[in-house]
A and B are shown apart, each in its own frame.
Chain A
Amino acid sequence: MKLIKIFSISLVLLIASKTTAQEFKLGKVSVAELEQKIHPKDSAAPAAILYKKGKSRIEFDQSDGDFVTLTDVEVRIKVYKKEGYEWANQAVWYYKTSGFVEKVSFSDAYTYNLVNGKIEKSKLKSEGIFDETVNKFRGQKKITMPGVKEGSVIEYKYTIKSPSDRSIREWNFQETIPVNYSEFTTCIPEYYVFNSRQKGYVFPKMTVDKSPKSIIFTSKERSEGRVTTTTFSTDKIDYIETRTTYTAQDFPAMKEEAFVNNMDNYVSSIQHELSMTKFPNSQMRTYSTDWNSVVKTIYDYESFGAELNKTGYYEDDLKALLAGKNTLEEKIWVILNHVKASVRWNGYTGYDCDNGVKKAYKEKTGNIGDINLMLTSMLRYAGLTANPVLVSTRENGIALFPNRTAFDYVIAAVETPTGYLLLDASDKFSTPNILPFRTLNWSGRLIRKDGTSEEIELTPKKLSNDVVFLNYKVEADGKVSGKARRQCTDHMAMITRERIDGVKQEDYLEKLENKNGKIEISDYSRTNEKDILLPTIESYAFTGNDLCEIIGGKIYISPMLFFTNDKNPFKQEVREYPVDFGFPQMDKYNINIQIPDGFAVETLPASAVINMEDNGGTFKFVVAQNGNTVQFSIASQINDAIFSAEKYEMLKEYYKGMIAKETEKVVLKRI
């Protein structure tokens, strides 16, 4: 996996020498920049970041009497094409809750154009600056630049003032357009220690230097005698400030790809999290620095650990439910179902409680924390060794670095003699170890009561199966009739249940018929639809007039009929990022074809096997003929959930081979 590179590279970077930084200053737009017609390295780019410089400083603020975070950002953007006009509109969000208000202000914003060889600049005035209240918690400042045309260069600066002494925002070194130069500096007093975390596929260079700084306190003292006199006294405190600068040069544009878990995982960026404070004359305080302390911090939250210990609100209900339940499996099952039935997920993630377990239980609705911490607590109450597991959803990205925001979700794990059983009560189709797709994202972190923690693999290892039995006969006029039976297990079953959930059977069948070569379906039945521990089974009889072709008096049949995979999902020529299927899977088809009287097989596809390297997967295609019946056993087994970009070509070839085989025809001729 390429991600491992992150760690090795950042080690090297620590000792990398200081590079001569290029000088970029607002207002110094050159004729050459304005004249440029296309980006030299990416001719299709609609715009480019010529430079972007950010600096986050933690400084003492006289009026606040405390340390605050100030962030200044300068940007110069080149617009090459009309498609790049969107870069002339910018937005910066800020917090505005009671007691915590950040300030954002834009300044020095100009559009530069070349008019008859001369540089013309238009200033952004207040008419192009907007302040929008997004919701209760957030606002955003928006700007729209004047006079933007193809070829324009835009510059602007903004400042964020945060009353907090630890709000260094994430800095992205990559965008959807090329970035020629991006620089981010942090200025941090010696009293603070931050952890910096880089991710992505390309990395900026880092330099560090230290310099002395001082804070001057001015205090006023009034003495009241006959005449009131005010004396000013100043105190000076010296400290060392650490400046760390990250510079990125010529980073390519991010491009969307299919089958990507979350593009954000691959954007080059840096995050900062406070790990320690040590002020003069006070105790050292540590924050999350490694997974154990992150976990400890989270466990100590009122909305986390304390919620786990509440039991009173459900005890009576649970006692009744657990009566007569002796085995571990029985207990787990009854509790999981009880939570599912008692509390509906309100759509909000979060590893800690929003409403609190008690309120959630009473009002029958809650966030992920409410639901799964309640679940964990009940499992413990039943005498099981159960613990919460912190998870980062696919939307949140991969939890690469130890910090509290790395996670946004929680599930429960029960220790059993055969290993952990992972549970999520927020999804009605989830069963032990079959978690909703949103949680299948690398690894989570299990927290025990004693504060220790352990990494838990979330990517399923077990194959999810999709097995189809197809029995059909072909008539001399090409009409096909037969029976199909489709059985899905684990994640495939979950997907099936989600697909059929709440859909009226009539509508479902209409869709199924239209999607499958306009067959007509009869005798449709489902087994285990509600019995979610068991595989889903759908059976039906079908007839179709359009399922095989008669060409020149011969009948051509695709043995898999409407199940044939005839399109390669991997069409892209080059692949940047890993392919993520979510879980390993097997598609299997057992097919019996009865050929019509008066016909004989002219050609049959040959049996074949395709193997991926490193046991990534296997395609088996087996044919047998027995009198008037032709039998096929066709199976594609993908053993890995994730394939690195290096394996893309192999994966594409595998699908190519598979499709070529599946689309081969059985040819019947008259005898």
Chain B
Amino acid sequence: MKTTFFALFLFLITFNSFAQKANYTITSIPDSLKQNANAVVRLDQMDITIASQRSMNVKKQRVITVLNDKGLSDIEAFEHYDKTTLINSIEAIVYDAAGNEIKKIKRKDFRDQSAVSGSTLFSDSRVVYLNYTPISYPFTIAYTCETQTSNTAFIPTWYFLGGYNVSIEKCVLNVAFPSDLGFKKKEFQFAGFNIKKTEETTTKLSYVAQNILAQKAEDLSPSPGDLFPKIIMGLEKFHLEGVDGTATTWEAFGKWYGDKILTGTTTLPEETKAKMKALVGDEKDPIKKAKIIYDYVQKKSRYVNIAIGIGGWKPMQASDVDRLGYGDCKALSNYTKALLQAVDVPSYNTILYGDRYKSNIQSDFVSMQGNHMILAIPNGDNYTWLECTSQDDPFGYQGTFTDDRDVLVVKPEGGQIVRTKVYDDKGNTQKDKGIYAIDENGNFSGSISIVSEGSQYNEKFRIEAYQPTEKESHYKEYWDNINNLKLGKIAFANDKENIRFTEDVQLSAINYASISANKMIFAIDVFNQNNHSVKRIRNRKNPFQIQRGYLDSDEIEVNLPAGFTIEFLPENYELKGKFGEYKTEIIKKDNNKLIYKRSMFLNKGKYSNKEYDEYRLFMEQISKNDNAKIILTKN
């Protein structure tokens, strides 16, 4: 008996270590997967088991071969936890290039740290992460982790190709769920990737993805989330921080959110209500009333994010915000809503993705989505949108953080998907009007007025609040084509009513024109040179996009030094194409005076990879012409 047992035991061991060796040697990776890769995902398996509306277990197994130090970030051996999400187990094993185990990392050797970051003041969310110092490259890490949570409102997204320069040998997704919870899923960007659905029943779903090559990052690409394959999943009957939820339609979801989460959060002290009524006085127009209230909120409050438990999803009580004067996006939006209620102006909590990169709430997939909240006030057939976390934004201005995207407006009767304001390319303007003179030594002095509107307003209006040193460095960066720049008087006008920001700047620079022998050479376009270089990319693979267009127009009076004649003047220039229109014109007023006119219009748009070179050449022509030189000869 004894001997048999021993033999069996031995056999198991050898079998195991053999299996590992076979799996994790570097030589077994096909060359095609090493191309452009810093790391190779050998296996990424996620097993999601939803036992009930209030119980979800996620097992992750990720075996990754790191080829060089840039691939370290692809290990992704970290897990978040909090009071409702527990980590049952977490472990990692390191293998060398030959597939031999060299280190075992247990939970206690992982770091455990508070996950409070950036704009968050306090959160009970924590993170456990692996901090491994590689001894040599390549090496392989096999990471396993199991978590358990009662929150089924968020099923992890299957998004295995998280970025660039990483390739995939095999990825597996297995989901098991009770048939009566209304499990649903949506696939994105599967085309061109080797992904197979291996099982789909009323209680199971499985996918396998294999042999996906590493991609290189390319400028102006859509975000990886819009390029790489992913599956989002959800339940019609879910649970969130102690609250059961139902979502079959946006209407129903909105109703649930309003009834279960938002309800009872908008009570205010009578005193505050009376104060609001007094503030609006006899004003009848709801939008004008809203403007008064918004101004009050902006002066009174500040953004502080505290996320504890349901507080991550449920707004703070309006009465608390009223007393404390701070809150996060939900709290401040909800508070503003409560104040508006007091003066009989209806408004709706609006859930969306807040980011410069435009990203939609998936309108055909009803689930908990979004990362931000704003307020929508009905205004005729449209809405006026209020960003309640900002103390500076003009009333109803969306800038570039919430514009032009699908959002969920939560009305008492239910949710509704709506598009936020689209800023027209031709309305994103910058108008420059200026004057400058060059003296006989090539020194420059001038002044300019820059008026920005539309989404360009957003890029500019904060300059006013900069510290003096920050202002100085901003302008020296903005006009980095002018060496030895010296700034004179700077004045601003922020017209929030018309959303127009004006900068009046006086400036000078010695040696602006370069002088060789009896000639003076300088670029005539001083104030608005487009010198953003568009990279040359050989064999571009991905499409590209310009998210926001703009229109710049300049009119500059140029005074030339006395005692010089113009030897050469750049010709008028015009360029038109699908990307936009560009035009410059030089008008000779008299011997020493020129008028320089320039206009540049760029369309927003989505383009194919094939069109990239055309775009690059378009922009290069513009840069080149913006740098066109004038030559003067001394008499």
Contacts and interface: CB of A to CB of B under 8 A. Distances in A.
B136 to A, nearest CB: 8
Given A514-B533, A518-B536, A566-B483, A89 B133 contact: no
A582 B232 CA distance: 50
Interface string B527-560: 0000001011110000000000000000000000
A88 B302 contact: yes
A322 interface: no
Contacts of A133: 114, 126
Interface string A46-57: 100000000000
Nearest to B518: A603
Interface residues of A, number: 61
Contacts of B631: 551-552
Contacts of B511: 656, 660
The list of the 4 closest CB pairs from A to B, nearest first, reads A552-B568, A346-B133, A130-B122, A364-B135
Interface string A570-610: 01110000000000000000000000000000110100000
A425 to B, nearest CB: 14
B483 A89 contact: no
Nearest to B134: A344
Interface stretch (B42-50, B187-195, B280-288, B468-476): B468-476
Contacts of B484: 568, 656
Nearest to A568: B483
B574 interface: no
Contacts of A502: 68-70
A514 B516 contact: no
Contact of B324 (A134, A147, A518, A659): A147
Interface in A55-90: 81-83, 85, 88-89
Contacts of B536: 510, 513-514, 518
Contact of B36 (A504, A556, A567): A504
Contact of A132 (B69, B116, B472): B116
Which of B116, B302, B521: most chain A Cβ within 10 A? Answer: B302
Interface stretch (A373-381, A643-651, A662-670): A662-670
A123 B516 CA distance: 70
A572 B472 contact: yes
B517 A347 contact: no
Nearest to A151: B299
B465 A81 contact: yes
Interface in A337-368: 344-347, 363-365
A149 B519 contact: no
B302 A660 contact: no
B216 A507 contact: yes
Interface string B503-527: 0000000010010110101000000
Contacts of B353: none
A134 B111 CA distance: 11
Interface of B: 36, 68-70, 103, 111-114, 116, 121-122, 126, 133-136, 216, 299-300, 302, 304, 306, 320, 323-326, 391-392, 465, 467-469, 472-473, 476, 480, 483-486, 511, 514, 516-517, 519, 521, 533, 535-538, 567-568, 620, 624, 629, 631
Contacts of B116: 132
Nearest to A125: B324
A573 B324 contact: no
A134 to B, nearest CB: 6
B121 A89 contact: yes
Given A82-B392, A552-B567, A148 B302 contact: yes
Given A122-B325, A128-B324, 11 more contacts: A142-B122, A146-B326, A344-B134, A345-B133, A504-B36, A549-B629, A568-B483, A571-B472, A603-B516, A665-B514, A665-B516
B483 A83 contact: no
27 contacts: A44-B468, A81-B465, A88-B302, A89-B304, A122-B323, A122-B324, A122-B325, A128-B324, A130-B121, A132-B122, A134-B113, A144-B304, A146-B324, A344-B133, A346-B133, A347-B133, A363-B103, A510-B536, A514-B533, A549-B629, A551-B568, A572-B472, A573-B486, A602-B517, A603-B519, A667-B516, A667-B519
Contacts of B323: 122, 146-147
Contacts of B538: 510
A567 B484 CA distance: 9
Interface of A: 44, 46, 81-83, 85, 88-89, 122, 127-128, 130, 132-136, 142, 144, 146-150, 255-256, 344-347, 363-365, 502, 504, 507, 510, 513-514, 518, 546, 549, 551-552, 556, 566-568, 571-573, 602-603, 605, 656, 659-660, 663-665, 667
B406 to A, nearest CB: 31
Nearest to B122: A130
Given A130-B122, A502-B68, A518-B536, A603 B324 contact: no
A148 B480 CA distance: 39
B135 A365 contact: yes
Contacts of A665: 514, 516, 521
A568 B465 CA distance: 26
Contact of A148 (B122, B216, B325): B325
Given A89-B304, A365-B133, A514 B325 contact: no
B258 to A, nearest CB: 25
A191 B136 CA distance: 53
A82 B466 CA distance: 11
A551 B570 CA distance: 8
Contacts of B467: 44, 46, 255
A297 to B, nearest CB: 29
Contacts of B392: 82
Which of B134, B465, B516: most chain A Cβ within 10 A? Answer: B516
A255 B511 CA distance: 29
Contact of B299 (A149, A347, A518, A667): A149
A659 B483 contact: yes
A345 B134 CA distance: 9
Contacts of A347: 133
Contacts of A134: 113-114
Contacts of A363: 103
Contacts of B517: 602-603
Nearest to B325: A147
Contact of B326 (A135, A144, A603, A660): A144
Contact of A150 (B299, B324, B476, B519): B299
A388 B315 CA distance: 58
B329 to A, nearest CB: 16
B480 A567 contact: yes
A136 B43 CA distance: 32
B407 to A, nearest CB: 26
Contacts of B112: 135-136
A149 to B, nearest CB: 6
Given A128-B324, A549-B629, A667-B519, A573 B121 contact: no
B325 to A, nearest CB: 4
Nearest to B103: A363
Which of B483, B486, B533, B629: most chain A Cβ within 10 A? Answer: B483
A629 to B, nearest CB: 19
A365 B68 CA distance: 17
Which of B325, B514, B521, B629: most chain A Cβ within 10 A? Answer: B325
A82 B303 CA distance: 11
Contacts of B69: 502
B121 A144 contact: yes
B516 A664 contact: yes
A507 B218 CA distance: 11
B514 A660 contact: yes
Given A255-B469, A510-B537, A571-B485, A344 B325 contact: no
B213 to A, nearest CB: 15
Contacts of A573: 472, 486
Contact of A142 (B121, B135, B469, B533): B121
Contacts of B483: 566-568, 656, 659-660
Nearest to B480: A567
A71 B13 CA distance: 60
Contacts of A142: 121-122
